[in-house]
Chain A
């Protein structure tokens, strides 16, 4: 099983739609991350969960709502998005806990287009 998987890989949605992105990691990690990647821009950290608790919310608009039911699964619920939210959304995981320096392992991303 691939380390970090994401579904769907591609998503087109209207501004009034509600959709969810799913991430699953099979690495036994305890920390999970959502990033936004726009063309020619640095990765933007959105949310961090450590042992299912949200530890970072990087001033993300409320139209993005994360959910972490357990250490292996992470969701990003989307509603009333704007065209500028079109981007690649990457999920990552790392060992978690008190280890302050950890390698993050990424999923392939969901390419989102908001019309």
Chain B
């Protein structure tokens, strides 16, 4: 079967760094997405990884290891506005390329 796991909730301090992990089990992996969703708002695209390694976009970076079925989202210089849920989603041939979603990690930033 297909499964996406990520922590339910994390807390971090403003200005610090936080790493949100995502592990997956799929057949025919075809890419991994990270989305950010503020409460009551639409999920918004953050990053896409299909090859192993680190993709950096400003304060946010995303890492993928296909052999380990593992990804993380790294947020640096945390700001209060980064308080949101972070959703991991995987595309696979077994799901006809449709996204399989994790339940999301709620990130709470404290001053």
A111: chain B residues at CB < 8 Å are 40
Contact count band on B? 20 to 34
B67 part of interface (Cβ distance < 8 Å)? no
Does the CB pair B43–A101 fall under 8 Å? no
- Determine the residue in chain A with the shortest Cβ distance to B102: A42
CA distance A76 to B42 in the complex (A): 18
Complex interface residues of chain A between 71 and 88 (CB less than 8 A to chain B): none
Option from A41, A48, A108 in Cβ contact (under 8 Å) with B41:
A108
Least CB distance from B86 to A in Å reads: 13
Does the CB pair A109–B97 fall under 8 Å? no
Does the CB pair B33–A42 fall under 8 Å? no
Does the CB pair B41–A103 fall under 8 Å? no
Residue with the greatest number of chain B CB neighbours at <10 A, chosen from A42, A100, A106: A42
A103: chain B residues at CB < 8 Å are 33, 45, 48
A43: chain B residues at CB < 8 Å are 43, 87, 89, 99, 101
A-B contact count (CB 8 A): 48
B100: chain A residues at CB < 8 Å are 42
The proximity string for B residues 41-79 relative to A, scoring 1 for CB distances below 8 Å and 0 otherwise, is: 111110010100000000000000000000000000000
Does the CB pair A90–B102 fall under 8 Å? no
B45: chain A residues at CB < 8 Å are 103-105
Does the CB pair A107–B97 fall under 8 Å? no
Option from B8, B50, B104 in Cβ contact (under 8 Å) with A101:
B50
Does the CB pair A101–B42 fall under 8 Å? no
B31 part of interface (Cβ distance < 8 Å)? yes
Does the CB pair A106–B48 fall under 8 Å? no
Please name 9 further chain A to chain B contacts, defined as beta carbons within 8 Å, in addition to the given A90-B42, A103-B48, sorted by A numbering.
Answer: A40-B104, A42-B100, A45-B99, A48-B98, A56-B98, A103-B33, A106-B44, A108-B42, A109-B42
Could you show 16 A-B contacts with beta carbons less than 8 Å apart?
A: A42-B101, A43-B87, A43-B99, A45-B99, A56-B96, A100-B91, A100-B97, A101-B48, A101-B50, A101-B91, A101-B97, A103-B48, A105-B45, A106-B35, A106-B42, A106-B44
